[in-house]
Structure 1
């Protein structure tokens, strides 16, 4: 059963302007070290798109959690990762993980679904939170 859904559309030009103006300060406030490493390993618009998609994913996840960036949910608590298959996913920590766990019900475990895409000048992400039967 779906217990949360969120989406975000981000203008890549806005992220590019903030990166030019605030650079490492902005990166360090919003992105994890792994996300920065992934983006910085790319060039030009691909680099900007990588940051913009991750920004959109964090915003979409906060919406799906039902909190936005309130109630102890911060940008660093939401990290975009890739599964071994390459599929994007999310790793939640601290307040975001606590909120995710609170959405669960007895006999069910929460599962996060993420999709991201970009087409200059926009980046888009959608997050769904579903509860799956606990098979333990």
Structure 2
């Protein structure tokens, strides 16, 4: 059963401008530890690729926050939601801390896809609820 759907389009130039102003501080605010390590490695080899990685993660977290119906308010935070990749390259949502507990209590499962092209990054998230899960959790 579908719990929620979220989508987002992000202007990569806006992310690049923010990085120029704030540097690593912006990446540290948005990325979890595993994402940050990937961002650093990609950016070291090719700076534009690092910016695109950050933009797709920013977009996917926006989409996820919409799909769960919270927006960017507790327990949803930038760093408690990570968008990582399976060895196959498939993106997955990995949750941490209070957000992970909140999500699991509701019997939810997320599917995410990300893409970037020219000046934009886009993402789409579908969140499902297990049929056996309660309708609402206080």
1:50 and 2:53 matched: yes
Shift of residue 131, structure 1, vs aligned partner: 2.7
SS at match of 2:114: strand
Aligned to 1:121: 119
Query: TM-score, normalised to structure 1's length?
Result: 0.86
1:86 and 2:89 matched: yes
Query: TM-score, normalised to structure 2's length?
Result: 0.85
Aligned to 1:60: 63
- Unaligned segments of structure 1, at least 5 residues: 105-109
Shift of residue 91, structure 1, vs aligned partner: 0.4
- Unaligned segments of structure 2, at least 5 residues: 133-138
Aligned to 2:136: none
Question: Equivalents in 2 of 1:67, 1:102: separation in Å?
Answer: 15
Question: Equivalents in 1 of 2:7, 2:93: separation in Å?
Answer: 14
Question: Equivalents in 2 of 1:10, 1:103: separation in Å?
Answer: 29
Aligned to 2:30: 30
RMSD over aligned Cα atoms: 1.6
